[in-house]
Amino acid sequence: MEILVENVSQIFGAAPHQVVALDHVTHRFPSQKVTCILGPSGCGKSTLTQIIGGIEPCSAGQITIGDGRAGLGSQSVMMWQSLNLFPWRSVVENVAFGLEVAGVSKAERTEKGKKLLASVGLRGFHDHYPRQLSGGMRQRVALARALILERPILLMDEPFAALDAQTKIVMQEELIRIYEASKQTILFVTHAIDEAILLGDEIVVMTARPGRIKDVITVDLPRPRSQELVGTPEFGKLYKYILHLIREEVQNAMAQEDLAVAAS
């Protein structure tokens, strides 16, 4: 399901302390593709994702989901770095929470929850509690909790940023596998260039604040992908190109901070 973002701006606070987080952002996120949103910290990546997910309204502009008949948020599910699992609920009760809210019977949601847990490599862990799991396993629970809703759009805001390097690699490959099977429309926010190239069909590079779109890069690397891709010349070429773009933006962001400090 495609997402059309037109002239979206987001301004926080009132003058003279206004923060322009997004400035006339326009992009068509293609249906059933993975688009990575890449940019320096504070450039508005989370803000854009929250607006698309219907979690916060925008100051100006328009978002159209699919043919425009569906309301914002109704077709998507969000996944963050902080998992917000309920510590007092078992793993399967966490995964099935969305179905419980939707009024699905206990037997049905437990069965579905167990199936999804198996599909993310957690067969047999349904009766555990979040505290009994490793960070990577908890991340899988959060992924299963998002997938159980079977929404056509998956919004992921730096979901793997807090994981150790090895677990992150495993989770990235897990996501690639899930995507190949489900072909959802995925928006994946990251500040890691290698992650963006590995996962994305397309990379939207944002500028430092105010967040605008600096460049859109098509990633033409074959699927299904795996970590082996990282060593190839094609990967290296893309990495170098994007690094150059990002370096400019990080320098701009640092210059802005220097100005702010000088003015205060």
Ligand X SMILES: Nc1ncnc2c1ncn2[C@@H]1O[C@H](COP(=O)(O)OP(=O)(O)O)[C@@H](O)[C@H]1O
* Residue 155 binds ligand X, judged by CB under 6 A: no
Binding-site partner at residue 209 among ligand X, Mg ion, none, CB < 5 to 8 Å by type: ligand X
* Residue 190 binds Mg ion, judged by CB under 5 A: no
Q: How far is the CB of 181 from ligand X (least distance, A)?
A: 29
The answer for 116, left when phi > 0, alpha when psi is -120 to 50, beta otherwise, is alpha
* Residue 216 binds ligand X, judged by CB under 6 A: no
Residue 85, CB half-sphere, CA atoms under 13 Å: how many?
A: 28
* Residue 45 binds ligand X, judged by CB under 6 A: yes
* Residue 82 binds ligand X, judged by CB under 6 A: no
How many binding residues for ligand X (CB under 6 A)? 13
* Residue 50 binds Mg ion, judged by CB under 5 A: no
* Residue 21 binds ligand X, judged by CB under 6 A: yes
Binding-site partner at residue 112 among Mg ion, ligand X, none, CB < 5 to 8 Å by type: none
* Residue 49 binds Mg ion, judged by CB under 5 A: no
The span from the CA of 47 to the CA of 162, in Å, is 19
Q: Which residues, in sequence order, are CB contacts of 53 under 8 Å at separation 6+? A: 72, 73, 76, 78, 155
Q: How far is the CB of 250 from Mg ion (least distance, A)?
A: 15
Q: Which residues, in sequence order, are CB contacts of 249 under 8 Å at separation 6+? A: 39, 40, 43, 205, 206, 207, 208, 214
Helix (H) or strand (E) holding 188: strand 185-190
User: Helix (H, G, I), strand (E, B), or coil: what is residue 46?
Assistant: helix
* Residue 255 binds ligand X, judged by CB under 6 A: no
- Report yes or no: 20 and 9 within 8 Å, Cβ to Cβ: yes
* Residue 42 binds ligand X, judged by CB under 6 A: yes
- Number of neighbours of residue 215 by Cβ within 10 angstroms: 13
Binding-site partner at residue 47 among ligand X, Mg ion, none, CB < 5 to 8 Å by type: ligand X
Residues binding ligand X (CB under 6 A)? 12-13, 19, 21, 39, 41-47, 209
Residues binding Mg ion (CB under 5 A)? 46
